[in-house]
């Protein structure tokens, strides 16, 4: 009996010890889960989109002198054409290679620039300022469908309407034709509106007939404007529709407004558009090669690397146009080009106006580290080639941001190195996709990603990646109803519609 009692007492003690140990472990576990996360050997991966930037650095006094030693990516020295097959429009090559796609020390730029003032945009490693606005809902459910009954075109690089109420659409083909579509939108009739292949040079990847804009009073005067390249120049010219047949242009009606040299085959810009002010806006690239070896982006004595603005309804002296009196450098005595509206751009291949707000949206193709979306404003310096997006470029670190305007949004190449080329789009103002209203739609030519971007002009921009991809989008376009299309360089034109 004594032996059994002792055995029973030991058992009870063991049970009590076990209960105490369990309670102690539970308390420790609760303390860790309630106050500090368990350590992990795996680095956290952010689910946020690429670095977003909002706001601008204050504009300073413009400098006309070239920066010392135009930089370029490794593998593309100054003066060496890079044959950049990743940039529109001539990006038919499947190669994802970009200018200097491999840098010393990897794809990272290195030290991120610090904001020049509290109003400057955050660098790529810094989170955007907190916003009191509610988080955006999920991305609109969209899909791409063949437009115009599946018609195909030869390297379509733009789709434009005339704004004359006719419903006609005009497809710009890079080799030098403009094809007109009329009638039912599902299966329209097609005809050649203008054919100037005999004067357009399109042998370079980024050369050819690149832009088209109709005069705001086209219905009355029949004027339209094109942007094309010769072997060594860019030409901005006015043409006129045939008075006896408004569905055809008169090829002999050309009036050259501007012609300027292009030192290399790439970075020709190409976009044309009229603003609400009635002036013609023109995008020019930095002249090409890689890294802007001639320093054109920051040089106010050249038209390259700029957004230009001219008055096509007046003439001044020997010019076939006039300088708007409120252009930022109108009447200057320093030799700055008076046509300049904004500068410090690398290759703003596509830009567009939002008709509701008047904002001018531009997508500037990056060197190899950042693709950027800019809101273009008069007199602003967008940084190239001192900066590429929010990153220092020349010099690679510690660059001065004084007077530079940073992008409202930017993104790096997929995977962090090489193979990206932003294609600017439009702010949607149609009626068929209400959830897309007021959002800017754009894409990457190389990897096919598409985004919608929300920006109210004050807080940080918010971009949401769509769940559709389409490689080779060279341009976007809208019809008279504001519905959105995408030109694919292999010949298709797609319409953006709701997925349901």
Query: Where is pLDDT greater, at 246 or 131?
Result: 246
Answer whether 257's CB lies under 8 Å from 321's CB.
yes
Answer whether 166's CB lies under 8 Å from 492's CB.
no
Work out the angle at residue 247's Cα, subtended by the Cα atoms of residues 244 and 251, and round it to the nearest 5 degrees.
75
Q: What is the pTM of this model?
A: 0.77
Residue 36 Cα distances to 26, 39, 43, angstroms: 15, 9, 16
Work out the angle at residue 445's Cα, subtended by the Cα atoms of residues 442 and 446, and round it to the nearest 5 degrees.
135
Under the banding of pLDDT at 50, 70 and 90, the label for residue 336 is very high
Residues 6+ apart with CB under 8 A from 155: 89, 92, 173, 174, 175, 208, 474, 489, 491
Residues 6+ apart with CB under 8 A from 328: 62, 340, 341, 378, 379
What whole-number distance in Å separates Cα of residue 463 and Cα of residue 481?
24
User: What is the distance, to the nearest Å, from the Cα of residue 388 to the centroid of all Cα atoms in its chain?
Assistant: 13
What whole-number distance in Å separates Cα of residue 31 and Cα of residue 179?
71
Q: What is the pLDDT of residue 419?
A: 86
Answer whether 390's CB lies under 8 Å from 408's CB.
no
Exposure of 127 by Cβ count < 10 A (0-12 exposed, 13-18 middle, 19+ buried)? Answer: exposed
Residue 353 has pLDDT above 70, yes or no: yes
Work out the angle at residue 445's Cα, subtended by the Cα atoms of residues 442 and 451, and round it to the nearest 5 degrees.
25
For the stretch 267-281, pLDDT in tens is: 999 999 999 999 999
Phi and psi, residue 207, nearest 5°: -105, 165
Q: What is the pLDDT of residue 57?
A: 37
What whole-number distance in Å separates Cα of residue 220 and Cα of residue 272?
20
For the stretch 160-196, pLDDT in tens is: 999 999 999 999 999 999 999 998 778 999 999 999 9
CATH class, range 167-410: mainly beta
Among 378, 291, 310, which Cα is nearest to 343's? 378
Under the banding of pLDDT at 50, 70 and 90, the label for residue 36 is very low
Residue 44 pairs in a beta bridge with none
Residues 6+ apart with CB under 8 A from 170: 159, 160, 161, 162, 178, 179, 180, 181, 193, 212
Query: Where is pLDDT greater, at 466 or 18?
Result: 466
What whole-number distance in Å separates Cα of residue 284 and Cα of residue 59?
21
Task: Provide DSSP, 87-138.
Answer: SSSS--S-----TT-S-TTSS---SPPPPSSTTSPPPTTSPPPP--SPPP-S
Q: 188: which 2 tokens? A: 């329209």
Query: Where is pLDDT greater, at 302 or 102?
Result: 302
Q: What is the pLDDT of residue 183?
A: 84
What whole-number distance in Å separates Cα of residue 91 and Cα of residue 86?
5
What whole-number distance in Å separates Cα of residue 77 and Cα of residue 293?
8
Beta strand pairing call for 272-274 and 280-283: antiparallel
Answer whether 60's CB lies under 8 Å from 474's CB.
no
What whole-number distance in Å separates Cα of residue 171 and Cα of residue 148?
12
Q: What is the pLDDT of the chain when averaged over all its residues?
A: 80
Query: Where is pLDDT greater, at 498 or 26?
Result: 498
Residue 59 has pLDDT above 70, yes or no: no
Q: 448: which 2 tokens? A: 């096919």
The DSSP code for 311 is: B
Report domain extents, the chain. Answer: 167-410
Q: What is the pLDDT of residue 160?
A: 98
Answer whether 227's CB lies under 8 Å from 282's CB.
yes
Q: 85: which 2 tokens? A: 């097959």
Residues 6+ apart with CB under 8 A from 66: 294, 295, 298, 299
Q: 228: which 2 tokens? A: 């094309």
Say how many C-beta atoms besides its own lie within 10 A of residue 72's C-beta: 24
């Amino acid at each position: 009996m004594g032996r059994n009692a002792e055995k029973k007492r030991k058992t009870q003690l063991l049970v009590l010890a076990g209960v105490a140990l369990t309670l102690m472990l539970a308390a420790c576990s609760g303390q860790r889960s309630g106050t500090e996360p368990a350590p992990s050997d795996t680095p956290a991966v952010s689910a946020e989109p690429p670095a977003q930037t909002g706001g601008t650095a204050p504009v300073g006094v413009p400098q006309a002198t070239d920066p010392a030693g135009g930089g370029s990516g490794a593998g593309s020295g100054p003066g060496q054409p890079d044959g950049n097959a990743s940039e529109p429009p001539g990006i038919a090559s499947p190669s994802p290679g970009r200018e200097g796609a491999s840098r010393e020390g990897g794809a990272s730029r290195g030290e991120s620039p610090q904001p020049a003032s509290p109003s400057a945009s955050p660098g790529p490693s810094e989170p955007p300022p907190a916003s009191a606005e509610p988080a955006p809902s999920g991305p609109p459910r969209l899909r791409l469908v063949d437009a115009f009954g599946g018609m195909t075109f030869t390297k379509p690089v733009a789709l434009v309407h005339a704004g004359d109420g006719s419903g006609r659409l005009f497809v710009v083909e890079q080799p030098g034709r403009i094809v007109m579509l009329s009638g039912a939108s599902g299966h329209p009739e097609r005809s050649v509106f203008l054919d100037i292949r005999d004067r357009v040079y399109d042998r370079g990847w980024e050369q050819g007939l690149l832009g088209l804009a109709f005069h705001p009073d086209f219905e009355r005067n029949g004027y339209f404007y094109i942007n094309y390249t010769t072997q060594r120049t860019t030409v901005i010219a006015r043409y006129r529709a045939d008075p006896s047949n408004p569905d055809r242009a008169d090829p002999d009606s050309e009036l050259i407004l501007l012609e300027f040299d292009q030192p290399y085959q790439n970075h020709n810009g190409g976009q044309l558009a009229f603003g609400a002010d009635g002036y013609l806006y023109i995008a020019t690239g930095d002249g090409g090669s890689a890294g802007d070896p001639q320093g054109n982006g920051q040089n106010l004595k050249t038209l390259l690397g700029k957004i230009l603005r001219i008055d096509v309804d007046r003439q001044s002296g020997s010019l076939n146009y006039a300088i708007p009196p409120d252009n930022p450098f109108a009447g200057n005595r320093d030799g700055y080009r008076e046509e300049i509206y904004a500068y410090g751009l690398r290759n703003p291949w596509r830009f567009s106006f939002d008709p509701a707000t008047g904002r001018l949206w531009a997508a500037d193709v990056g060197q190899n580290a950042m693709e950027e979306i800019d809101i273009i404003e008069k007199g602003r310096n967008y940084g190239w080639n001192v900066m590429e997006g929010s990153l220092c470029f020349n010099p690679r670190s510690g660059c001065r941001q004084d007077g530079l305007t940073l992008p409202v949004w930017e993104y790096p190449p997929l995977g962090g190195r090489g193979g990206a080329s932003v294609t600017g789009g439009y702010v949607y103002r149609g009626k068929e996709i209400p959830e897309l209203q007021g959002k800017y739609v754009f894409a990457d030519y190389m990897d096919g990603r598409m985004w919608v971007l929300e920006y109210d002009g004050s807080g940080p921009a918010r971009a949401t990646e769509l769940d559709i991809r389409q490689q080779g989008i060279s341009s976007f376009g809208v019809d008279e109803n504001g519905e959105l299309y995408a030109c694919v360089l292999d010949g298709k034109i797609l319409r953006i519609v709701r997925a349901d």
